[in-house]
Amino acid sequence: QVYLVESGGGSVQSGGSLRLSCVASGYTRDAYGMGWFRQAPGKEREGVAGIGGGDATLYAESVKGRFTISRDNAKNTLYLQMDNLKPEDTAMYYCAADSTRYNAAPSLWSAEYNYWGQGTQVTVSS
């Protein structure tokens, strides 16, 4: 069984930064994909950033240049560094892991992930 636990969310002002972390237990396959998704009230869940085999990365256009996804395989931890935050970044952020596609390209498609964390809230005020 794989467990994903996010942390690092909080409330910041526009232009601020936050760093989200996701610790994975029971999941040590660094050649598999992981990703960050978010869901704002009344909106569908959307992919924010993904990391795949060889640590290739992929970002949603809305966060490109502001967010950075990375992982520390020795610590089984996925990170999302979020800089220059905007009010529209306000959402619940979820960590996701894919244990089925070996060495695949990073993905922002939620259907390609089979494990999910419980989420951490990010609120950005103007």
The per-residue pLDDT for range 60-86, each reduced to its tens digit, is: 999 999 999 999 988 999 999 999 999
| Token pair in block for residue 102 | 């070996």
Instruction: Please tell me the distance from the alpha carbon of residue 107 to that of residue 75, in angstroms, as a whole number.
Output: 22
Q: What is the pLDDT of residue 70?
A: 97
% of the chain exceeding 90 in pLDDT: 83
What pLDDT is stored for residue 101 in this prediction?
85
Cβ contact 14:82 at 8 Å: no
Spatial distance between the Cα atoms of 69 and 57, rounded to a whole number of angstroms: 7
- Please report, for the chain, how many H helices and E strands are present, in that order: 0, 11
Q: How confident is the model at residue 31 (pLDDT cuts 50, 70, 90)?
A: low
Residue 42 neighbours by CB distance under 10 Å: 5
